[in-house]
Structures are given as structure tokens and as C-alpha cells.
A and B are shown apart, each in its own frame.
Chain A
Amino acid sequence: MSVLVNKDSKVIVQGFTGNEGTYHASQMIEYGTQVKDAVVKTGADVSIIFVPPAFAADAIMEAAEAGIKVIVCITEGIPTKDMILVKKYIADKDCRLIGPNCPGIITADEAKIGIMPGFIFKKGGVGIVSKSGTLTYEAVDQVVKAGLGITTAIGIGGDPIIGTPTKEAVKLLMNDPETKGIVMIGEIGGGMEAEAAYWIKKNGTKPVVGFIAGQTAPPGRRMGHAGAIVGGR
């Protein structure tokens, strides 16, 4: 079954004009996703956003207003204040935001809404939740080389304010009948992973393996991702 996206998802791409948008859109088509160009015409229910940071927040809100159910925002560099406004705006709309600053979602052998390299994925029973891009690929690669496979990998993004925090993404996979185990990859910055861990302890029904990158990060410095910064105790 998979979570969030599958071969029947209808996707529109916002921000097609940049090189990135076009390259990845064609990669997504190759992988099996159906891409359409307008919600009304096509009944699209998923949108992927490559719109540059200055306008990305508007793009997200536009998608939500248009009735898109799953919005994946790849854009890195959206100002924090804009994301705060976005989250408030979409709170009462029937949609789920993944990202921003994320590699997207991929359901192995069915659909890719994002920029993850499809060729490293193999279909199987492990679900992945990750703040990172390339560290996700590393995890997927290791899982596949260990003889297992992936159901859905959800890149939740590395910003301090994101649409779907770790716990929510873990919940989705915990409730997916095809997912037998979960890999949760986090980073320093904020308490999302801890919150997810508490939830898993109380409600988890499948094995979860967790890793938090950045143990060696110096305190007070922002490690690449806008949200990756060490706090106190």
C-alpha cells in the first residue's frame, strides 16, 4: 500500500521554470509518477514545489488553497517567519506538508515525489523517516545492501519549522500495513526526535531504529541545515 504517494498519485510541479524543476520532473516521470499541469483540469492531489525561497511560502499556501492533499516542498532557504505563517495558514486545510528543505518522498517501485536517486531503492518492508537528504540515501543503501527493502522513505527536511515533524511521519509508517520496521534518522536541533521516541515507546507496534547525526557538532553553530543547531541539556 505505502503511505502518502503511490502509482495513482497525480502530481503537479510548481516551479518548473528553473533547471532543477525540469530535471527532476523528468526523473520523476521516468520513475513512474504521473505529472499533470493543473489541479482543476486534472484532479491532481499532490504537488511538488521547487519555487525559489522568496516565493516558496506563497506557493505552498496556493497549493493548499487549491485543494492539494500532499504538498512536498523541496526548496531550501525559506525564511523562518514565512514558514510560521504557512503552518498557521494550512492548519485548518485538509492537506499534509512535507518539508521544506527536503528531498521528498519515495515509495519504492511506485512513485517518487522529490529528488532522491531512484536506483538505490528496492521494494521491501522498511519505512524511513529522515531530516537529511544524502544521509537518507546512505541509510537506504545500507538497508538494501543488508538484504532488506523499502516501503516509503519520507524526507521531512532540515529546517527548524517543517510541515510534518518526525513523530507524525513515524505514525504514518507505524500505521502502514506494508511497513514492518522503521528507520528514524534525525539531526541535532530541537526536540522532534525525542518527542517521537516518547510516542514510539508508548504506542509503537513495530521495531524502530534511530540515529541522530551531529554528536560531534560544536554547540551554538548551525550545521548546514537551518534547524541543525545544538541546544542545552
Chain B
Amino acid sequence: MAFHIPTLRNVVRLGKCIPTRCNVNIQSVRHLNLLEYQSKTLLEKYNVTVQKFIVADNIDDTNCLSAKLKAGEYVVKAQILAGGRGLGVFDSGFKGGVHLTKDPVKAKNLVAEMLNRRLITKQTPKDGIPVNHVMVAESVDILRETYLCILMDREYNGPVIIASPAGGMDIEDVAHKTPELIKTLPVDIFEGVTDAMANDLAEFLLFKGDLKKKAVDAVQVEINPFVETPQGQVVSVDAKIGFDDNAKFRQQEIFSMEDTTECDPREVEANKYNLNYIGMDGNIGCLVNGAGLAMATMDIIQLYGASPANFLDVGGTVQEQQVLQAFQILTSDKNVKAILVNVFGGIVNCATIAAGIVGACKRIELKVPLIVRLEGTNVDAAKQILKDSGLPIQSASDLDDAAKKAVASI
């Protein structure tokens, strides 16, 4: 029995081949990521049928398994945020992050093989991801697998349901090869899913199903496979839910479930100081104000032949202290061979950035070339601060000049 676990995949654009009017993007996004058991707990809370399961954080959690979880067959699944678990290998050599067994004692042994080991799959970094939780679930007989996804689509400006009777496989392949097997239904945000729509979908999926949209500020709920069992049940066998980061303030409970063990440590650090940072693996560290300008800075670095080490938007309210913290993160990245600061101050006062840079250079022994381009509010005072510091900072006259100098310096 194959368990297809969709996770960090590419988007598919369902273009003109769809017999409806929408162009829809199915996005696998790294907003808040929940582990499978967290997603299923959430779905269960809102009355979506999922398999019965327990979660083991340590081996004792599997004591008296047959009493805790009555099942004819157990499926044991390592809980990590990447896909490809079934074909993965643990660092101990043990093969497979998903196993089936009818014997509760064997199930316990399987959990022991997985817990606190690192699982390496096609979608994880080379040294794998630590497995801190293992799910033991009632194995479900699968008669058929279908696909169901609800997401917030920007072209339609609202929620859209995507369904296909061809579930349990790569939905992008289905969209590509057999687009007539995909139905896209926009949902009016005020009306919600009507009975007529639900029936329509159920028929398209070739069974009587039921799905409700819930008030959790999700931007995507993808259920693949959405299964019909021989016993006449409808079960969500795997679920991936994406949440709107902008809704964090009113979804404390959901966001508190976030597990940062798999996140880039540079990013976890940056988050502490409210720095909008995304780690990449290039050689020029960037510090910019504004997301668009930050992206453009990364682009122009590549244009001139080097590679950005990170995205960093310090934002409009940045203070000197944050500039220091940003520098600390950039300089602790051993791939960084030069640092490029590009600030166009509107709200941001260039002098604050300049003072922050000087402060940072004095605190950290800067071992890589530093190129600074400042423009906008209070730029003359800022340039003077840099000059007076006596530090070996290369000044750039504009973005083009800054990028060229940065690339030339490495």
C-alpha cells in the first residue's frame, strides 16, 4: 500500500486546459508548517474524519498500544515536515519512515527504530531531519484515493476548491496529463460551500463525501489522498494545511504549534530580532530596507556574477541595535565573502543605518569587504558618519555601482 505524502512541492498552474474560468495556483508554501499529526488533530476538531491515532514522543507512549488504539493493522509514520518518508532511510541504516504491521509489539519496535533518529529522504537536507514524534495510526483500507484541496486564490480573490478523482499521486502530473480530471470551484466567501456545490463535488469525486471550510485562517487545505474505504467511510488519509502568517495575532493556538527544529538556525535567530531574513547559500550577504528592493538587490548581485547569501528586509522601523544583530547573523555565515548594504531611506533615516554599521563594525571584527550604498532621508549626514569612522567601508553611488563593487570585492 503506497502512502503518498505531498509536502514541499512546486506549484502547478492550471491554465487554459481547465474547463472553468479560473487560473489557479496550487501552492506548497512555507508559511507556518504543521506536522501531519497536528494537521489531523486540527481537522478532527472540525469534524473531518481522520484515522484514529496516537503520537509517541518517547517510547513509553507506545506502552499498552493495543489498549490505547484498537486496530486490525497499524501504520507507523515518522513525523517530519518533508515528504518522501516512505522511501527514506534513517541515519542508523533502518529503512523506511512509514511501516505497516498487524502486531502491536512490532509497532512499538518500529517506533523505537524511528524516534530520535534522523530520517533522510529526497526532500530533506543530506543529513536528514530529526524525528521527534512518531504517529501510530489505525491503518485504513483504501478502496479509492481522490484529491481535495481548498486554497485562497489571488486571481479569483477568494477561496477555490480543487478536486480530482485521481488522488494519491502527484497532482501536477494529473493537471498536466489529464486536466479533465480536475475540477476547480470558486467559493463565494459570504455564501460558503453550498449543498449544491458539495453534491456537485461529491459526484465529481465519484462518492458521497462531505467537507466543511473552517474558521482557522488557512490559506490552503490539501487532502491527498481523500479516501473511500470498503467499509463505506470517507477518510482524510493525509492532510497539509497552510496558514496565513498575517493572521497570527488571532490564531495564537495554531501558531503555538509551530516546530522550529527544522528551520534554518540563521532564520530562527533573525526572527528573535524581528529581522525579515531568509537564508540562501550564496556568497554576498545583503542588508536592505524593503522587500522589493531586497529582492532587486539579490537579483542584481546575480546579474553581475555572484550569488546572494540571503534575503534581508530590515523594515521601515529598523533601529541601530537591529543593524548590529543583522551584521552578526551575516558575518556568522561562513559562505559570506562580502557584505552589501543597500538602503533607500524614506521612513528609514540613513544616519541610523550608518551609526548602526559603524557600531557593528566596532563590535565585530569585520573580516570581509563591506560595500554601503545609502540614498534618501538624511543621506549626507549618514555618509559623513561613515567617513568619520575611519573604517574601510566602500561607498557606492547607486545600486548598479554597489552591486559591481560587491562582486568585484570577492
Question: Do A and B share a complex?
Answer: yes
Binding site for B on A (CB under 8 A): 53-54, 77-81, 84-85, 87-88, 103, 115-117, 120, 130-138, 141-142, 145, 158, 160-161, 185, 187-192, 211, 213-233
Using known A-B contacts A81-B152, A103-B346, A160-B154, determine if residue A222 contacts B308 with beta carbons closer than 8 Å.
Answer: no
A214 touches B154 (CB 8 A): no
A84-B293 in contact (CB<8A):
no
Q: How far is the CB of A51 from chain B (nearest CB, A)?
A: 14
Q: With contacts A84-B189, A115-B347 known, is A226 near B245, CB below 8 A?
A: yes
Given the known inter-chain contacts A215-B302, A216-B302, please indicate yes or no for A77 contacting B246, CB distance below 8 A: yes
Q: How far is the CB of A74 from the nearest CB of chain B, in Å?
A: 10
- Of all chain A residues, which has the CB nearest B282? A216
Residues of chain A within 8 A of B233, CB atoms compared? none
Q: A117-B346, A226-B245, A229-B29 are in contact. List 13 more A-B contacts (CB 8 A).
A: A115-B346, A116-B346, A135-B295, A138-B293, A190-B154, A211-B296, A216-B298, A218-B280, A220-B8, A223-B291, A223-B311, A224-B313, A228-B295
Please encode chain B, from 380 to 401, with 1 for each CB lying within 8 Å of some chain A CB and 0 for all others.
0000000000000000001100
Query: Which residues does chain A contribute within 8 Å of B376, judged by CB atoms?
Result: 117, 120, 137
* Prevailing SS type, chain B contact patch: mixed
Q: Is B217 an interface residue (CB 8 A)?
A: yes
B27 and A231 contact, CB distance less than 8 A? yes
Contact of A223 with B278 in the complex, beta carbons under 8 Å = yes
Q: Does chain A have a CB within 8 A of B28?
A: yes
Contact B375 A141 (CB under 8 A): yes
A-B contact count (CB 8 A): 182
Q: How far is the CA of A181 from the CA of B151 in the complex (A)?
A: 37
CB-defined A-B contacts under 8 Å, sample of 18? A79-B217, A79-B246, A88-B158, A117-B346, A130-B292, A133-B316, A134-B290, A134-B344, A137-B344, A138-B296, A141-B344, A145-B398, A158-B292, A213-B296, A216-B280, A224-B292, A225-B291, A228-B295
B329 at the interface (CB under 8 A from A): no
B134 within 8 A of A: no
- Beyond A80-B152, A81-B217, A221-B30, whether A136 also contacts B10 by CB under 8 A is no
Interface residue ranges, B against A (CB under 8 Å): 8, 10-13, 23, 25, 27-31, 152, 154-155, 157-159, 172, 188-190, 217, 219, 244-247, 249-250, 276, 278, 280, 288-296, 298-299, 301-302, 307-308, 311, 313, 316, 344-347, 375-377, 398-399
Main secondary structure of the interface of A (DSSP, over half): loop
Closest to B189 in A: A84
Measured between beta carbons, the chain A residues less than 8 angstroms from B289 are 134
B154 to A134, Cβ gap below 8 A? no
Contact of A131 among B10, B159, B246, B292 (CB under 8 A): B292
B327 to chain A, nearest CB (A): 19
Check B295–A223 contact: CB distance below 8 A.
yes
